[in-house]
Amino acid sequence: MATNVFDVRGVEPAARRPTRDHRFFLAIAIAVVLVNVAAFSMQAAMGRSTFAAPWHVHLHAIVFFGFVTLYLCQNILVAMGALRWHRTLGWISVGWMVAMAIAGSMAVAMLVRTGRVPFFFTPAYFLAMDGLALVTFLALAGTAVRMRRRTEWHRRLMASAMSAIMGPAFGRLLPLPLLIPYAGLAVFPTLLAIPVAGAIYDRRTRGAVHPAWWWGIGALTLTHLLIELCGRGALGAAAVMALSAGMPGATVDPLAYPPFPPLP
């Protein structure tokens, strides 16, 4: 006779949770990889992404997708029970986060300074969006590292951190040119997919949502509010002008949308 894995309250017994948790977080990591691969492959297939892009764009892509790959590897190691390797790779990931901070900041700054911001964002909004998303990722991932001995907090905060840098991938899957001037607002709900799925998972298997998910949802929401506040006002415009002084980007109105690219 089949055995129900949930008790009379619909909550999974604690003894059964580790394996199921490993599978759930591995599924999240696989989904993160698949979304990124699908998004950037689609852009390449449509001729919108080429190897002719500036070197800093390639560096950014290598470093950030490298971390996505590390995140997948980390979850595979946990699912396999190879915790020693997981811890070793974890310290490599910490160093990789430093590289992400450098490469990410450089790529955003160069696009703003050269006036090559995607045409469905204003320069001010683009700078606020990518800059604050990177800060949120580093804050959540850094906190996850500090709480690495508290597994339930660690893995949920790290999953939320991955959500913070999924905007470029989800944005490439959405028709953002058709969503001007609400492209940023359109991307925001997709970033909540991971922590919301995690909250539903916890509610289903534990009977309550772990507070780490609320911290993740709160951080992502606050980030977007700051993006809207800074990216659509004088603060964002001043930041763009200061960053692009003496460069081609200084000739672009920081609060205006760039012209649509010519049709092929």
pLDDT of amino acid 52: 66
Q: Which amino acid is at 172?
A: R
Q: Is this prediction's pTM over 0.85?
A: yes
pLDDT of amino acid 13: 53
Q: Which residues of the chain have pLDDT under 70?
A: 1-17, 46-52, 263-264
pLDDT of amino acid 14: 52
Q: Which tens digit of pLDDT belongs to each residue from 91-126?
A: 999 999 999 999 999 999 999 999 999 999 999 999
pLDDT of amino acid 18: 74
Q: Where are the alpha helices (DSSP H) in the chain?
A: 17-45, 55-80, 83-113, 123-146, 151-164, 167-173, 183-191, 193-206, 211-231, 234-243
On the CB side of 198, how many CA atoms lie within 13 Å of its CA?
30
Q: What percent of the chain has pLDDT over 70?
A: 90
Sign of CA dihedral 41, 44, 49, 50: positive
pLDDT of amino acid 257: 94
Residue 196's alpha-carbon distances to 23, 121, 182, 201, 247, in angstroms, are 17, 27, 22, 9, 42
pLDDT of amino acid 10: 46
pLDDT of amino acid 71: 97
Structure tokens given for 72: 């997948």
| CA separation for the pair 13, 6 (Å, rounded) | 6
Q: Is 21 helix (H, G, I), strand (E, B) or coil?
A: helix
